[in-house]
A = this chain, B = another copy of it.
């Protein structure tokens, strides 16, 4: 079943405002969105729509997110679908339980929509290497998220963890300008406080790493705005 069109996402969230916001963002990002506001519908829709990824609210009336997750991960034909859990901060203690239940990722409310998008794409890439490319490519740079390897002109580059995440983020939308704040959100995570200037330093390090065997600087600085690839 090698689908190649828009990736389908099943969005399960009982709170209308949140769901609406997410749905519009997902659609703007190119996802085909199916919505459900409770666990029961969700379980039915999984079979009907066969989504590529599920975004699942933790707390819901009737059948909770965790229960939906558990059931889906038990059935062989649905086990492969990545599930991203949403949860309020207060429930963070349950994090381990969430992942034990089989959720593939976990985002704490209030979350950055951008971050959630990035994670959804990441999960998608993980399970669907065929289409969206197991490998991100931009000019002569190739990045394989699975093996955590980066090539430039067929040479293997050595990057630090932060440089890697930074490059992944930039390569997911080549050309798009990311502000320092956005990059902090996407690469470092929203809870951490680090100075925005730190982004500059890591961009500098990434540049050096990308050019360790020569080649031009692929990272564009947009003064007053941020950084972009190409």
Q: Closest CB-CB distance, A57 to chain B, in whole Å?
A: 14
Closest beta carbon of chain B to A213's beta carbon, Å: 20
Is the pair B146, A112 in contact by a Cβ cutoff of 8 Å?
Answer: no
Q: Are A104 and B148 in contact (CB under 8 A)?
A: no
A114-B114, A182-B114 known; A125-B175 Cβ under 8 A: no
Give A228's nearest chain B residue, CB to CB: B147
- Which residues from 134 to 151 on chain A have a C-beta closer than 8 Å to any C-beta of chain B? 144, 146-149
Q: List residues of chain A with CB under 8 Å of any chain B CB.
A: 15-18, 20-21, 24-25, 28, 99, 103-108, 110-115, 118-119, 122-123, 125-126, 132-133, 144, 146-149, 160-161, 175-177, 181-182, 185, 190, 222-225, 228
Name the 6 nearest CB pairs between A and B, nearest first.
A161-B224, A113-B118, A147-B175, A148-B177, A17-B105, A21-B122
**Extra 18 A-B pairs, beta carbons < 8 Å, given A24-B125, A114-B185, A160-B223:** A17-B99, A17-B105, A18-B105, A20-B104, A21-B119, A28-B125, A108-B110, A110-B111, A110-B115, A112-B114, A112-B115, A112-B118, A113-B118, A114-B114, A144-B175, A147-B176, A161-B223, A161-B224
22 A-B contact pairs sorted by A residue (CB < 8 Å): A15-B99, A17-B105, A17-B106, A21-B105, A21-B123, A25-B118, A25-B122, A28-B122, A28-B132, A28-B133, A110-B111, A110-B112, A112-B114, A112-B115, A112-B185, A112-B190, A113-B181, A114-B181, A147-B175, A147-B176, A147-B177, A148-B222
